[in-house]
Amino acid sequence: MKGNIIGKRIPRIDSVPKATGTAEYTVDLKLPGMIYGKILRSPLPHARIKSLDVSAAEALPGVCAVITAADVPMGKFSFFQWLADKTIFSSDKVRYVGDEVAAVAAIDADTAEKAIELIQVDYDPLPAVFETEEAMTADAPLIHDQESNIGFKVERHFGDPDNAFESCDFVVEGCYKTDRVAHCCLEVSNCVASWTPEGRLSIWTNAQAPHTQRQEVARILEIPLQDVRIINSHMGGGFGSKLVMDMKLPIAAVLSKKTGRPVKIQNTRAEEFSTAKTRYGYTMYVKTGAKKDGTLQARTVRVIADNGAYHDKGPATLNFSSMMFATLYNIPNIHYEGMVVYTNKQMSTAFRGFGNPQLTFACEVQLDELAEKIGMDPVEIRRINANTPGQKLQCGAVVPTCGLRECIEVAAQNIAWKEKYNRKDKLRGVGVANMVHTAAGGRYYGYNATDSFIKVADDGTVSIVTPGLEMGQGVHTVVAMIVAEELGLDMKSVKVLSNDTDLTPYDLGSWGSRATFVVGNAALATAREARVVIIETAAKMLDTKPEFIDLENGMAVARGPGMPEKSVSMGKLAAYAINNMKAPISVKGQWADDIPEDWDIKTEFVKNVRSFAFATQTCEVEIDKDTGEVKVLKFVAAHETGTTMNEMLAEGQIEGAVMQGIGFTLMESMTLDNGRVVNDGFLDYKLPTFGEQPEIDVQLIETGDPHGPYGAKGIGEAGLVPTAAALANAIYNASGIRVTELPITREFMLNALREK
Amino acid sequence: MKAFDYERPSTFEDACRILHAAGGSKKVLAGGTDLIVKTRHKVMAPEGVVSLKDVPGLSDISFDPEKGLFIGPMLRLSDVETADAVKTQYPALAAAVATIGSTQVRNRATIGGNICNAAPSADSPPILMAYGASVVIGDGKNEREVLLEDFFTGPGETVLRVGEIVKQIVVPAPPQNIFAIYIKAARSALDIALVGVALLAVFDPADRVVKDLKVALAAVAPTPVRSRQMERIVIGNKLDDTIIEKAVVESCTDACSITDIRTTEGYRDTLVETHTRQALEAARSWIEKGGVL
C-alpha cells in the first residue's frame, strides 16, 4: 500500500535527538538527592553462604544503607510464577557467578563500590555444573531442591513420525548446538527507584514491557499494584533482555525506602555481560525424513535448552520454537520434545526470535543435508515444500497469506544462485535458508488487546497516548505515521506520548514482533475514531455534510457537487470544538485479538500465533584458506512484510538483524572460567561492526495480511532467524565442511580445512 | 573507580619531577585509552596521573630526508596516520596505525601511549622496530636514546625509570629500495592483534638480492620481538620459493606464543607462518616489479 505517509520512506521521529546525542536515556537520569546503589554479587558459581557481615560497610562514611536478605521480602519469584525459584537476595546458597547477595546505597558510585568490597561473606563452595547434558546425569550436583536439574518439559506431537520414517526414502539425523550469546544493548540495564513517604514507588528504567514489569515489582515486593509506577525514556536496545524485571528494581526500591532518597543502580559493562542474561543455548537432536521427490514426511526434535541458574522465559522460548518448527513446512508427522535444564550460569532469557533462530539453524542445515542425499538443489527442496496462501497445515495452523515462494525466487535470483551454487571455486559458495516467524506476537497470555487515546490541541497538533514501547525498532514513528495518514497531517503535527504506566493503557510490551501489529492496530482504530469526530466538527463549521469532508495537508476540506470548495485548518477546527461546541476533540480506540474461546493450547498450539511472516535468506561467502576467516560477501534477505509501513525502518530492522545473525554465527560466544564470564567486555566479546558489514540486499515482499494494520506483518525478529543456517550452508557449499555448532570461529574453520 | 590526583604541569621538567617524587605511584596520562580503562577495571590503581597535555612540543611531527622522522609522543594516532610525511615516506607505519582500535580510539590515543603501554599486542611497535626506530627518553636533566627493540622488558614493562618520560620517537630516513608491510591477524574488523607481522626489506634492484631484512612480531611473546632467525635466512638471498619456505619454517623460532582467552598457541603460530609468507610474497612481488605495485 502507498498512502500519503504509509509506505513512504519516512525518517524516524527520534532520529535527530539520537543522532545528535541529545536524546536522554534512563542511564542519563539524575534526580535531586539521588544516591547510588551497588549490588554485591556471588564470586562463586555454586556455594552455601555460611555467614555475612556488613558492619564494616555500614561504618564507611558516605554509606546510606546496606541491605541483605533480612531486609527484603523473600518470597520466590519468576516470570512464570508457577516456576518461581529466585529470591531478591540469596540467603542460603548462590547458584551462579553474579547472584545477588547484598546491596548498598551511598552518596556516590565510588563509595558504594568501596562499601561492597567491605562486606564479608563466608562461602562454602559446592560442586558446580555448567553443561546441560552433564547436569542431566544422575550424579550431577542439584542446583535447586528438586529431583533433577530438568526445570521444565514440553512435548508436541501429531501424526505418527515413527511409522512415517519407515516409509521415507531418505532420513537424516544429527545433533546441532548453538551458543549462549549476549544481547549487547548499548545502554546497560539500570534503574532509578524513588519510594516516597506516602507509599508510592516510582521506577525509571529501560523496560520493554513496563506494565508487566510493574506487576512483577508489586508481586516480588508484596505491595499493591497501584503503588507502583514504571517510567521509561529513550531506550538503548532491548532485544528481549529487558522484558522481565531485573532484581536491581526491587533492590533499588528497598534501598530508596530505607534511605528516603531516589536510588540509582546501573550495571557496569562487565556486570551486564555476567548477569544481564543470554539467549538460550540449544542442543538439538533432529531427524528429518522425505520421499525421493523431496516432500517432507516426518520430523522429530529433542531440544535441551540451557536455563542457567533460574527460570525466566524458558517455557515461552521452547513453546514458541515448537510452533515455528511445526509451521515452516507442512510436515504431517511431527514430534517435538523440549526441556530447560538448570546450570550454574547466569539466566537465559528471551532474545530476538524466542528459540526460533536456534531451531531454524538446525532444521535448515539438516534440510541441506537431506537435499544432498536426495540429489536435489537446496533451493528446489525448499520450493517444493513451501507453504502457499490460505493453506491449513497438518499442525492446525492456517497461513492466510504466505509469500514464501516469492521470497525463495527473489533470494535465489539476487544471489545469482544458478551461476554460483556448487561452483567449487576458490573456497567460495552460496547458501540458502527459509524461516517462518510470528508476525503478530503471541496469545500466550490469553489476552491480546490494547487501547490508545488521541487529543487534538487548539493549535491543531494531534497527540496520541500509546503503550507502544519504543526500544529502537521505530514503533513510535509507525504510530505517528498511522495517525498522520488517517488525519491528513504531516509527521511534525503528531506527537507520541508513551513513557509512564500511570499514563499509558495496559499493554504486554514490545516483543515477539508484535508492536506494529497490536499497538499499530490500536492506533489505527483510535485515529479512525478521531477522524469521525474531526469530520463531524468540520461539517458543522463549514455548514456541510460529513460525507463531503476530506482531511488533507492539515486541513479539513469540503468538496461537493455544486458547492465552492471550503476548508479550515486543524487548529481552527480544534479551537472551534473547544470554544464553540464545548466539546474538545479527544477519543479512545481499541484493538482486541479475537482469541477463540474454545481454544485448547495443547492440541491447537499453533493458534497461539495470529499471523505468520515467511522469509528466505541467501548469502555468498569466501573462506580464507590460510586463516579460516569466513568473509561474508553478500546477503539477500527476502522478507514478507504484508504491507511495508516504512521502507527505511523495515530495511534497518532487517539489516541490523542480519548483522546480529552474523555475530551469532561467526563470532559471539561467552567464555567461562569456572562459571565466571571472562570475556566480559567488548574487547574480547566479539560483535560484528561496520568492518564486517557485507552488502545486504533487503527485499520486502508485500502479501498483505487480513489482521495487521493496513495489512502489515511484524518484522522485528525475522531478520536473524534464517541467517545462521544460510551462512552454514554457504560454508558447506564453499568448503565441503558441514558445521553443526555455533559459533563458527576462524580457528575452527582453519582446523577443519586442514583436516580435510 | 578509585580516586586519584590529577596534575597538569606545563614543562617537561616539572612532569619528570612530579613522577620522580611520587616514586612510581603516579602515571603519565596521554590519551588515557588504556590508563583510564585499566583504572576503572581495577587493573591499575595509580595515586595520581600526570597529564602531558600542557607540555609544549610533545605533539610535533617533522621529517628531514637526511635525519628521518621525529614524532612527539603526544601526537594522536589519527594524526600519525594522516601526516603527509608518514603517508609518503613510511606508508607501512600509517597502515599499521590505522589498524589500532576504532576511529574514536585513534582520535584520542597517542603514539607514545601505544608504545609506553608496552602491550605485547600493540600494533605500532613492530613496524617501528622494522623501520629501526628509537625513542629519546628524558628525566628533566639528561637524555638517552634507546632503540625500540631494546625498550620493552615485559608485558606493560619498559626500560623507563621512575621520573623518565619518552620525549620523542625517531625513525631513521628510509633507505632507497625498500619494501615495508604490516599484517595484522584478528578475530574481527575491530580487534587487538592475535598476531602482527611487520616486515621491512632493503633490496638491490639490480640483482634483486635482499640486503637487509627486519621482521618484528606482535602478540607472540611478552614483548614485541624480532624474528632474527628468519631474517638471517633471507638476508643475502633472492626471495625465491625455497628461501621463502625456509624462512616461513623459522618464522616462529623467536616467538613463544601462548594460549589465552583470545586464541590458542597453535593458531597463533599458524597465523605467524601465514602472514610471514604473505609479507615475503608481497616483498618478492614488489622487488620483481622493480619497486612498483
CB contact under 8 A, A626 and B278: yes
Residue A602: per-residue pLDDT: 58
Report residues of chain B scoring pLDDT below 50. none
Same fold yes or no, A26-126+186-237+242-275 and A278-443+601-755 = no
CB contact under 8 A, B270 and A686: no
Question: What distance in Å separates the CA atoms of residue A335 and residue A301, rounded to the nearest whole number?
Answer: 6
Residue A605: per-residue pLDDT: 62
Q: Which A residues 510-539 touch B at CB under 8 Å?
A: none
HSE-CB at A454 with a 13 A cutoff on CA atoms is: 31
Same fold yes or no, B5-51 and B61-171 = no
Residue A232: per-residue pLDDT: 95
Four-way CATH pick for B5-51: 3.30.43.10, 2.30.30.700, 3.40.50.20, 2.40.50.100: 3.30.43.10
pTM, full prediction = 0.96
Residue A446: per-residue pLDDT: 79
Test the B interface: residue of A36, A268, A269, A627 with most B CBs within 10 Å: A627
Instruction: Tell me the residue ranges of DSSP E strands in A561-673.
Output: 563-569, 586-592, 612-623, 630-640, 672-673
Residue A148 to residues A152, A192, A675, B31, Cα–Cα distance (Å): 10, 38, 20, 53
Name residues whose C-beta falls within 8 Å of residue B88's C-beta, 6 or more positions apart in sequence.
none
Chain B residue closest in CA terms to A682: B191
Question: What distance in Å separates the CA atoms of residue A26 and residue A186, rounded to the nearest whole number?
Answer: 12
Q: Give the model confidence (pLDDT) of B234-262 as tens digits.
A: 999 999 999 999 999 999 999 999 999 99
Measured between beta carbons, the chain A residues lying within 8 angstroms of B192 are: 683
User: In sequence order, what DSSP letters do the residues of A102-166 get, joined into one string?
Assistant: EEEEESSHHHHHHHHHH-EEEEEE-----SHHHHTSTTSPPSSSSSSSEEEEEEEEES-HHHHHH
Question: What distance in Å separates the CA atoms of residue A547 and residue A560, rounded to the nearest whole number?
Answer: 9
Report residues of chain A scoring pLDDT below 70. 1, 600-606
Question: What distance in Å separates the CA atoms of residue B190 and residue A685, rounded to the nearest whole number?
Answer: 11
Fold of B178-288: Enolase-like; domain 1 (3.30.390)
Question: In this predicted complex, what is the ipTM?
Answer: 0.93
Q: Give the model confidence (pLDDT) of B131-172 as tens digits.
A: 999 999 999 999 999 999 999 999 999 999 999 999 999 999
Question: What distance in Å separates the CA atoms of residue B72 and residue A407, rounded to the nearest whole number?
Answer: 58
Four-way CATH pick for A26-126+186-237+242-275: 3.40.50.920, 3.90.1170.50, 3.40.50.300, 3.90.180.10: 3.90.1170.50
Question: What distance in Å separates the CA atoms of residue B18 and residue B151, rounded to the nearest whole number?
Answer: 23
Say whether residue B144 is in contact with chain A using an 8 A CB cutoff.
no
**In CATH terms, is domain B61-171 a member of 3.20.20.70?**
no
Q: Domain spans of chain B?
A: 5-51, 61-171, 178-288
Q: Domain spans of chain A?
A: 26-126+186-237+242-275, 278-443+601-755, 449-592
Four-way CATH pick for A278-443+601-755: 3.30.365.10, 1.10.357.10, 3.30.2310.20, 1.10.10.60: 3.30.365.10
Q: Are strands A676-677 and A563-569 parallel, antiparallel or unpaired?
A: unpaired
Cβ-nearest to A667 among B187, B264, B267: B187
Four-way CATH pick for A449-592: 3.40.640.10, 1.10.760.10, 3.40.50.2300, 3.30.365.10: 3.30.365.10
Cβ-nearest to A678 among B261, B264, B278: B261
Task: Determine the number of helices (DSSP H) and then strands (DSSP E) in chain B.
Answer: 11, 14
CB contact under 8 A, B263 and A747: yes
Q: Are strands A263-266 and A35-41 parallel, antiparallel or unpaired?
A: parallel
Residue B39: per-residue pLDDT: 94
Chain A closest-CA separation from residue B262 CA (Å): 7
